[in-house]
Amino acid sequence: MRLSYSTCPNDTFIFYALANGKIDTEGIEFEISMHDIDILNKNAEANDAPEITKISSNAYGAKLWKRYVTLDAGSALGRNNGPLLVARKYFAPTEISSKSILIPGVDTTANLLFSVFFPEALNKTPMLFSRIEGEVLAGNYDCGLLIHEGRFTYQDKGLVKIVDFGEKWEQEMHHPIPLGTIIARRDIGIDKAQQVSRIIRRSIEYARTHPNEAMPYIRSYARELSDDVINNHIALYVNDFSIDLGNEGKEAISFLYQKAYEAHFLKELPRNIFL
C-alpha cells in the first residue's frame, strides 16, 4: 500500500515505527512518500491517489469524503493547537479584512478556520507554509497564517500574534480543533482500513515508549532542528486523539463540517466518514 504523510515532527513521530520496521504491519508492505500538506491535499484528488494519506480536515470535508474514510488513529486534533495569524507589528483583528494575507494552501484547515471567522478578508495568497514567516518578515505581505513549527518560532524571529485560531475556536465553539486526519481509500475495503488503523496506532504506541530512538528519524526531516521545538511540536499535535479519535474527536470533526456547511464553505455535508 502507498502511504503519504508530511515531514512535520508529529507525522514522522507517528510513522517512525511503521516506516522503520519496528512493529508488526500484519503482512502489509508500505510504500512511503512524504510531502507538504498542500501537496498531500492535491495528491489525494488524483486518479492514482495513495491508498492511505494524511489530509487537511478541510480538504477531506470539501472534496474527498466520498472517496476516502477517516481512520481512528493518526489524527492531528486537540486543544490550543490551531494556526496563528502573525504580523511584523500588531494590529487589531478588526483590520484584518484590509490586509494582504498569506495562507498555507486554499484547502488547508487553517484557511477554513480563518474564513469562518473572517469571511470578508479576501486578499489571500497561498504559499508553502515554510516560506510564510520569511515573506511576512520581508514586508511582502501584511500577515500570514502559521502552522506546524512556525507557531513555536515566530516570536524569536520578531513577529507578533494577531489571532490564535485554536484558542478562538475553542472559546467560541467549545470543541477541540480538527486540523488533519489519516484517511484510507474506500475501495480497499473496511477490513483493510481497520487493519491499517490498528497498525498506525501500534506505531504511535511504539514511538511513545521509544521517543529517543525515534528522534534521529524525526530530526532528519524537521524544518526546525531545535529539540525543544520538535518535542513541543510532538507534545501539542500527538495526543490521545491521535491514538483513537473516540466519540469526542468524531463529534469535533463533524461539528467543524457543520459550521463550514452553514458558512457555505462546503457544498454538501459529509456523511458516513468514520470507520
Give the CATH number for residue 167: 3.40.190.10
pLDDT for the residue numbered 135: 96
Q: In this structure, are residues 121 and 114 in contact, taking their beta carbons and an 8 Å threshold?
A: yes
Give the global pTM: 0.88
pLDDT: is 66 or 149 the higher one? 66
The last residue of a domain, from among 173, 201, 224: 173
| Domains contained in the chain, number | 2
Average pLDDT score over the chain: 93
| 3-class secondary structure, 2 | strand
Whether 242 and 109 map to the same domain: the answer is no
Cell of 13: 513521530
Q: What is the mean pLDDT of residues 198-207?
A: 98
β-bridge pairing 76-78 and 177-185:
antiparallel
203-237 residue pLDDT tens: 999 999 999 999 999 999 987 778 888 998 899 88
Whether 200 and 190 map to the same domain: the answer is yes
Question: Does the residue 22 lie in any domain?
Answer: yes
Q: Give one word for 21, left, alpha or beta, with left for phi > 0 and alpha for psi -120 to 50.
A: left
Whether 66 and 195 map to the same domain: the answer is yes
Report whether pLDDT(19) > 90: yes
- 174 in catalytic set: no
pLDDT for the residue numbered 70: 98
130-176 residue pLDDT tens: 899 999 999 999 999 998 777 788 898 899 999 999 889 989 999 99
- How many Å apart are CA 53 and CA 43, to the nearest integer? 9
**Amino acid identity for residue 104 in this structure:** P
Per mean pLDDT, which range of 16-20, 46-50, 265-269 is the poorest?
Answer: 265-269
The last residue of a domain, from among 148, 173, 198: 173
Whether 167 and 179 map to the same domain: the answer is no
pLDDT for the residue numbered 73: 98
Whether 66 and 88 map to the same domain: the answer is no
Question: Does the residue 271 lie in any domain?
Answer: no
* Active-site pick, 35, 148, 174, 175: 148
- How many Å apart are CA 99 and CA 80, to the nearest integer? 25
The last residue of a domain, from among 144, 173, 202: 173
Whether 61 and 195 map to the same domain: the answer is yes
Q: What is the mean pLDDT of residues 48-61?
A: 95
Question: Does the residue 195 lie in any domain?
Answer: yes
- How many Å apart are CA 162 and CA 45, to the nearest integer? 33
Whether 144 and 15 map to the same domain: the answer is no
Cell of 68: 476516502
Question: Does the residue 270 lie in any domain?
Answer: no
Whether 71 and 193 map to the same domain: the answer is yes
Question: Does the residue 169 lie in any domain?
Answer: yes
DSSP line for 47-104 = TT--SEEEEEHHHIIIIITTTEEE-SSS-EEESS---EEEESS---GGGGGGS-EEES
Of the pLDDT bands very low, low, confident and very high (cuts 50, 70, 90), residue 71 is very high
Comparing CA positions, the residue from 46, 77, 45 lying closest to residue 64 is 45
Question: Does the residue 273 lie in any domain?
Answer: no
Q: Which residues contact 133 (CB under 8 A, 6 or more apart)?
A: 86, 144, 146, 150, 153, 154, 157, 159
Comparing CA positions, the residue from 260, 251, 257 lying closest to residue 270 is 257
Whether 61 and 92 map to the same domain: the answer is no
pLDDT for the residue numbered 175: 92
Whether 181 and 65 map to the same domain: the answer is yes
Question: Does the residue 216 lie in any domain?
Answer: yes
pLDDT for the residue numbered 109: 87
Report whether pLDDT(274) > 90: yes
Whether 9 and 71 map to the same domain: the answer is yes
- How many Å apart are CA 241 and CA 79, to the nearest integer? 10
Comparing CA positions, the residue from 201, 203, 195 lying closest to residue 26 is 195
pLDDT for the residue numbered 185: 98
Q: What is the mean pLDDT of residues 87-103?
A: 97
Cell of 186: 474506500
pLDDT for the residue numbered 182: 98
**122: containing domain:** 84-173
Whether 27 and 60 map to the same domain: the answer is yes
